[in-house]
Amino acid sequence: MSILKSVVVLTSAALIASGALTATGARSQTSIGSAHQAPATSVHNDQSLLSIISESMETSRLTPAKSAGSLERQLAAVRTALLDAEAATLEATENAVVAQEAAAQDTSTTNFLTGTSLVSLGQSQAQVERREASDLARKAQGLFDQAEEALNTTHHRLVATSAALRKTTVDQESVRLARISETREDAELMAALEESDAIVPEPVNDPAVDPETLENAQAALGAFGSASVASATGIQVPTKKLTRTARINKSVKWANKIAKNNKYKYRYGATGPKYFDCSGYVGKAYAQGGKKLKRTSSSQYKAAPKKVKLSKMKKGDLVFWSSNRGRSFYHVAIYVGNGKIAHARNPKAGISVTKLNYAGTRNIYKYAGRY
C-alpha cells in the first residue's frame, strides 16, 4: 500500500510550481518538470558549504521580538537556519565518502602499477581530493556543532520570551508551539504528497528489472520458483533465497531495531558494526535481507532498478535528499511505513526513526528508489 493510501497525516511545504519539494526559505529546489538525471558531483564548492553553516549561525544573534506573531516567525527562521546548517554538513560528509570511494579505486590502480616507472604518480588527484574532502567534512562538523549550540540557545531564549508574553511557563509554551508546528507540518506533508501524485511525472522504468515484477514472475513459477535449484535427479530443491517481500521486511525490521538502540551511533564514513553514516546504515539494512547496495547515496539512487514518486512509496523504499536537482545526493533514508523513515543523521541526532518531514520537505528528491 502506498504512502498516500496508508497515511492520512504527514509533512512540510507543498510542491511549488517550479517543482520543488522544499521548505520556505530553503536554499535550493528540485524541479518537478526535469527528468531524473544521472548523479554527478555536488554544485557546492568547499567554501560555500562552510559559508552556509556560518551564515546560518548568524541567525542565533536575533533579538527577541515583542509580539507573539513576530516571535513565531523568528522561531521559524531559527529552525530554517538549523536545517540549512545540517544539510550543508551532510553534503560535506557525503562528498568525503564519495572521495574516499574514488581514492580507493585509484589505490587499486596504483597497486597494479607497483614495480613500474608509473608508480611515482602514486599521489593522484583522487587521493588529494580525498584528503581535502575529509578535512572539509571535519571542519563542517565542527562548525555545525557550534551553530547547533548557538541556534538551540536562541530557540530557548525565544520560547522563554514567548512564554512571558503569554504569562505561562516555558514548558507549557514549548508544548503549545510544538503542537502548532506538528499540526502545520502534517497538513503540509499531506498537501505535498497529494501534489506529488498529481504533478510529478511518472518516472521511466525498465519492466525487465522491476523488482516487484520479477518477484511476481517468480511466484508464477510455483512454490519453488527461482528460489530453488535442480538436483542431479531433476527434483527441485528449495534454496534459502528470500522473496523480495521477506527481504524487505527483514531489512526494515533491522533498521527499526538499530534505530531504537542507543548503542549504535552516527559517524561519517562508517559502515558498522557500531557506527554508521547515512548510506552505510541503509546499505547494512539491505544486507540483512541479502541485498548488496552501492556505497554512497548517489550511487544507491542511480543503481535502484525502479524509481517511484514519493506519493507511491512503500515500506523499504529509499528516500533521497539533493541540493542540485538530483545531480547528486547528500542524504538517504529507508522508508519504514506510516510516513516514517529510519536514518543516520549526525553525531548528536544519531540513528533514529523520524517522520518523513523531519526537516520539512526541504530538498527531498521527487523520486524514491525501489530495490
Calculate the average pLDDT of the chain. Answer: 83
Confirm whether 280 is domain-assigned.
Answer: yes
357 pLDDT band (50/70/90 cuts)? confident
261 pLDDT above the threshold of 90: yes
Asked if 297 and 320 sit in the same domain, the reply is yes
9 pLDDT band (50/70/90 cuts)? very low
DSSP 56-77: HHHGGGPPPPSSHHHHHHHHHH
Confirm whether 6 is domain-assigned.
Answer: no
DSSP 203-269: PP--GGG-HHHHHHHHHHT-SSTTSEEE-TTS-EEE-SPPPHHHHHHHHHHHHHHHHT-TT-EE-TT
Asked if 227 and 133 sit in the same domain, the reply is no
Predicted structure pTM score: 0.79
Domain end among 152, 178, 199: 199
Residue 116: what pLDDT?
58
Lowest mean pLDDT among 31-40, 59-68, 90-99, 168-177: 31-40
Please, which contacts does 181-184 make with residues 24 or more away whose CB atoms are closer than 8 Å? 184/12
Number of domains in the chain: 2
Residue 111: what pLDDT?
55
Residue 216: what pLDDT?
73
Condensed to tens digits (0 to 9), the pLDDT of residues 100-159 reads 998 888 765 555 555 555 555 555 788 889 999 999 999 999 999 999 999 999 999 999
Asked if 102 and 124 sit in the same domain, the reply is yes
Condensed to tens digits (0 to 9), the pLDDT of residues 262-309 reads 999 999 999 999 999 999 999 999 999 999 999 999 999 999 999 999
Domain that holds residue 183: 33-199
Condensed to tens digits (0 to 9), the pLDDT of residues 10-54 reads 433 333 223 334 333 333 333 322 333 333 444 455 679 999 999
Q: Are 103 and 133 in contact (CB under 8 A)?
A: no
Residue 338: what pLDDT?
92
C-alpha to C-alpha distance for 223 and 133, rounded to whole angstroms: 50
Asked if 270 and 195 sit in the same domain, the reply is no
Residue 121: what pLDDT?
54
Asked if 52 and 193 sit in the same domain, the reply is yes
Strands 340-346 and 367-370, sheet pairing: unpaired
Residue 236 has φ and ψ, to the nearest 5°, of: -75, 120
Confirm whether 263 is domain-assigned.
Answer: yes
Condensed to tens digits (0 to 9), the pLDDT of residues 183-212 reads 888 888 888 889 889 999 999 999 999 999
| CA nearest to 263, candidates 272, 90, 334 | 272
Asked if 120 and 226 sit in the same domain, the reply is no
Asked if 189 and 235 sit in the same domain, the reply is no
